[in-house]
Amino acid sequence: MADQTARAVGHDWRDRVLTDPDMILEDRDLMRALIAANERQMGKNIVDLRGIAMERLEARLDRLEDTHRSVIAAAYENLAGTNQIHRCVLKLLEAENLPGLLDLLPGELADIVRVDRVRLVLESAEPGEVPHLVISPVREGFVETYITQGRDVPVRQVTLRQCAPASEKVFGGDSDWVRSEALLKLDLGDGRLPGMLAFGSEDPHQFRANQGTELLTFFTAAFERVVRRCLG
């Protein structure tokens, strides 16, 4: 009885394979097992070029699949970043005046961007104390020197980098634990000294020099316009 059952199962599988051979061809593990069985029958002195070619094709397919997954992941990450910046800009447009904008920076804006600290750095000929904790007053020329770190290089609008620690003039007492920063250079209009919006993170990998800056460049342009409107 058992032999009859086994033969019936065998015939069933044979009929299914003959009817739909793609069922085997699309199963990589099954094809690999069949090729290995064929190699054992041929003996050790015969080189199966088809098997070698198939192994190489499988390796290329694996690399293509990895690349495909990486491209999809990057696309989703870029879409998420775009949505994030759009939310930030919409939130900026809600600020009716400068105090409202300053209150927005360390709260809702920092939450959307997912950073630990936000500081608005403003240059002044005679910097003094300011009533709002989010503002960091600095002397004239500080922004350019801080962004370039004193080197003779072009000043980029957006600079992403790791730091250990960050400047106390920018982040105050929080500078000891800030490990990466995004520096957005601000043009506040004719007759005004430049400023800088600084994002600080405890994560040293959140902002790195090899990251793209297109979205933050767009955010910087939007932020500049909102600040100019608030300043009048």
Closest CA to 207 of 177, 181, 175: 181
Copy the structure tokens of residue 122: 């403003």
Model pLDDT, residue 40: 65
Residue range 70-90: mean pLDDT, rounded: 77
Dihedral of CA atoms 217, 222, 225, 226 in degrees, nearest 10, equals -130
Q: What is the pTM of this model?
A: 0.67
Residue 166 has pLDDT above 60, yes or no: yes
Largest CA distance in the chain: 101
- Residue 2 pLDDT exceeds 60: no
Check residue 34 and report its DSSP letter. H
Q: What strands, in cross-sheet order, belong to the sheet with 180-186?
A: 135-139, 117-124, 195-201, 180-186, 158-162
What confidence score (pLDDT) does residue 4 get?
Answer: 59
Per the model's pLDDT, the better-predicted residue between 99 and 180 turns out to be 180
Fold adopted by 96-231: Beta-Lactamase (3.30.450)
Confidence bin at 213 (pLDDT 50/70/90): confident
Model confidence over 82-134: pLDDT tens digits?
888 888 889 888 888 888 888 888 888 888 888 999 999 999 877 766 666 88
How many other CB atoms are found less than 10 A from the CB of residue 206?
20
- Residue 157: the pLDDT is 92
pLDDT tier at 72, thresholds 50, 70, 90: confident
Determine which of 17-26, 158-167, 212-221 has the lowest per-residue pLDDT on average.
17-26
Token pair, residue 139, equals 């002397």
Q: What does the DSSP assignment read for 123-175?
A: EESS----S-TTEEEEETTHHHHHHHTT-SS---SEEEEE-SS--HHHHGGGG
CB atoms within 10 A of CB 130: 14
Domain limits, the chain: 2-46, 96-231
